[in-house]
Each structure stands twice: as C-alpha cells, then as structure tokens.
C-alpha cells in the first residue's frame, strides 16, 4: 500500500473498504492504544509499558509484537546494548491526532464535573487546544456536514 508499512501480509479485515475499520483492526483494542499512548509519553522498555499500564506480561508481549509487525513501533537495542526498546515509527507518530482526540473526548465525557484528571500541555505548559475538524474553507466539519464517498 502506498505510504504505509502496516500491512504485509495483512490481517483479515473486518471491512476491507473502510479506513476506520482497518485502523481498529490494527489498534482498536484498549491495550494497543495504551501502549501507543505510553510510547508517545516516553516509555521505551517492556518493563516501563507494564508498569504504566498494569497489563499482563503475555498480553503486553502480544501487543508489542503486533504493533511492531504492523509498523507502529520499531524494536531497537538500548544504548546499554543489554535490552530491547520500542520506539514509535512514523506511522506510530501519525496516531497522535487520534489519541489526542480520544483524550479530549474523555476529558469532556468520561469524568464527572470537577473530577481530577491528567491534562495534555504543549511545550510552554499551556493546555493543548481542542481539535476541531475543518473543511477547505475553515468551516467546522461534523456528522451533519460530511459524508463518505467511495474511492476508486
């Protein structure tokens, strides 16, 4: 696939023509996204991922293997030469807007008013502004102002 490292050989797609379904086939379970989230937050080692998520070792091994196989993480040797580390690939970095959007949805809908939660801040310490999809003219795009068009 042009521009992708995620599909050789490809999984059995839930809905082969739908980008949302294919993405969920690759990273749609909570553990995969939490591993990607933690990689974005600087986790690199198996131990760090396990400590941050609380995930069982066998499940973490499986998710790391799948994320590497689908091109979202790459395995590298740590500077010490004694262990393997996992780093985000370009495809992994490209998930940042999706993780950000999920985070912002959670901030609005998954906490009671006034309930404490983490906040993503930019390099200056200011909260990251809400992601709002816009069209070519800068207008807000939503469910009622967009549609799916089959390509090809």
For residues 114 and 106, is the Cβ–Cβ distance under 8 A? no
**Residue extents of the structural domains in the chain:** 19-113
Q: 120: left (phi > 0), else alpha (psi -120 to 50), else beta?
A: beta
pLDDT, tens digit (0-9, with 9 covering 90-100), for 28-80: 999 999 999 999 999 999 999 999 999 999 999 999 999 999 999 999 998 88
- Give me the pLDDT at residue 36, please: 97
CATH for 19-113 is 1.10.10.10
Whole-model pTM?
0.84
Assign 125 to helix, strand or coil: coil
From CA 52, how far away is CA 55, in angstroms rounded? 8
Output the pLDDT for position 4: 47
pLDDT, tens only, 91-125: 999 999 999 999 999 999 999 999 999 999 999 99
Query: Is the pLDDT assigned to residue 147 strictly greater than 80?
Result: yes
């Amino acid at each position: 696939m042009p521009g992708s490292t995620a599909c050789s050989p490809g999984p059995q797609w839930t809905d082969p023509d739908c980008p949302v379904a294919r993405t969920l086939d690759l990273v749609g379970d909570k553990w995969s996204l939490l591993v990607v989230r933690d990689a974005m937050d600087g986790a690199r080692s198996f131990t760090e991922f396990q400590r941050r998520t609380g995930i069982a070792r066998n499940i973490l091994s499986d998710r790391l293997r799948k994320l590497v196989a689908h091109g979202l993480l790459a395995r590298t040797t740590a500077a010490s030469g004694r262990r393997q580390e996992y780093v985000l690939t370009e495809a992994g970095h490209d998930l940042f807007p999706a993780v950000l959007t999920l985070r912002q949805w959670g901030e609005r809908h998954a906490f009671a008013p006034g309930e404490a939660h983490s906040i993503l801040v930019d390099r200056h310490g200011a909260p990251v502004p809400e992601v709002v999809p816009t069209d070519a003219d800068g207008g807000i795009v939503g469910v009622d102002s967009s549609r799916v068009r089959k390509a090809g």
